[in-house]
Amino acid sequence: MFVHNKRLQYTVRVSAPNPGLANLLLEQFGGPQGELAAACRYFTQAVSEDDPGRKDMLFDIATEELSHLEIIGSIVAMLNKGAKGQLAEAVESEAELYRSLTEGGNDSHTTALLYGGGPALTNSAGVPWTAAYIDTIGEPTADLRSNIAAEARAKIVYERLINVTDDPGIKEALGFLMTREIAHQKSFEKALHSIQPNFPQGKLPGVPEFTSVYFNMSKGDDIRGPWNEGGDWKFVEDPQPAVDGGDGLATVGVTEADVEVLQAMASRTASDVNADPTTGADLGAGQATTAK
């Protein structure tokens, strides 16, 4: 059961409306790194989680992400306050209204015009939110790593949003949200490492002969480091197919009847290497032969 408290988790203080900034903030409302995506990701993980500690943590963080969605939505709504009234009541001339809506060079039609000044479940380019942002796979050692990466990406987006506003109240609120991304990363990482072992992910081990092999597949200016040397790494300078020792060809076992059918199809569709007919490409290029 969810019970909503009408007070925000963090106080929102917006100095003045700014539709352009409102549009940019939609990245954290309905974007891939945003708060709704995070809430849905952690909530779906929590529902299926069997470990009581991880289940509690995931529900707590999922619920907090919803509170962050409310903060971002409130900031967007406050930044669009002037535009909302102007759009609804048409108190300005057309030119002045358009200028105010696109203040700062940002295309704010999504929040200001289409949604009447309210926060929309889109990113800043107007792309609708999608459940495809949720990458839960049902294996804690994989999902927790994905969660850590998601929080890291969200922190970077908040940093960038902080850098594009000079409103002290908004900077403060975004700084709080950015900091909570750090706290969540710490929780997820601690939870990950409370599972021992947690690498490789899942139950099955890797094939030993390939687990610690680095294939040098990109030639020129090869850089060596801890990702491909030292420890038990085996560096293969010039990997040749097939690395398993086979011939590198694809084969399949089929019935005798299928063999006959496949051979008939291959014969019917075989290329004649000696044919050189005039084609549409030749005709379009003005290379048609003259009829006699």
The verdict on 33 and 139 lying in the same domain is yes
One domain for residues 49 and 105:
yes
- Does 290 reside within a domain? no
Reduce the DSSP state of residue 26 to 3 states and report it.
coil
In this structure, what token pair is assigned to residue 182?
């750090």
- Alpha-carbon distance 211 to 124, whole Å? 41
End residue of a domain, out of 142, 161, 193: 193
0.85 cut: is pTM over it?
Answer: no
Token reading at 81: 């306050």
Q: Exposure of 95 by Cβ count < 10 A (0-12 exposed, 13-18 middle, 19+ buried)?
A: exposed
Residues 217 and 163 in one domain: no
Indicate whether 278 belongs to any domain. Answer: no
Give me the pLDDT at residue 105, please: 46
Domain-ending residue, one of 160, 193, 226: 193
Q: Which amino acid belongs to residue 45?
A: Q
pLDDT value, residue 282? 87
Same domain, yes or no: 106 and 231 = no
In a domain? residue 289: no
Question: pLDDT per residue over 219-257, tens digit each?
Answer: 899 999 999 999 999 999 999 899 999 999 999 999 999
Would you say residue 200 lies in a domain? no
Domain count within the chain: 2
Residue 242 lies in a domain: yes
Q: How far is CA 211 from CA 60, 142, 175, in A?
A: 37, 18, 41
**Nearest CA among 2, 8, 6, 12 for reference residue 60:** 2
Q: Please check whether residue 40 lies inside any domain of the structure.
A: yes
Binding residues for Mn(2+): 35, 65, 68, 151, 184
220 and 77 within one domain: no
The annotated binding site for Ca(2+) is made up of 56, 60, 216, 218, 220
Same domain, 51 and 76: yes
Is residue 198 one of the residues assigned to a domain?
no
Annotated binding site: 35, 56, 60, 65, 68, 151, 184, 216, 218, 220
Measured distance CA(143)–CA(148) in Å, rounded: 9
* Domain containing residue 55: CATH number: 1.20.1260.10
- Distance, CA of 85 to CA of 230 (rounded, Å): 65
Mean pLDDT of 78-83: 78
Of 152, 190, 143, the C-alpha closest to 41 is 143
pLDDT in tens, 33-57: 999 999 999 999 999 999 999 999 9
Residues 223 and 99 in one domain: no
User: In sequence order, what E strands does 160-285 have?
Assistant: 213-215, 234-236
Return the pLDDT at 30.
95
Q: Do residues 65 and 132 both lie within one domain?
A: yes
Burial string for 46-75 (b: 16+ CB within 10 Å, else e) reads: beebeeeebeebbbebbebbbbbbbbbbbb
Are residues 43 and 136 located together in one domain of the fold?
Answer: yes
Same domain, 60 and 89: yes
Position 170 pLDDT exceeds 80: yes
Do 50 and 140 lie in a common domain? yes
- Does residue 199 fall inside a structural domain? no
Q: Among 166, 193, 220, give the residue marking a domain's end.
A: 193
Secondary structure element (H or E) that encloses residue 14, with its range? none
Shared domain check, 140 and 117: yes
Q: Which domain holds residue 178?
A: 19-193
Average pLDDT estimate for 161-172: 97
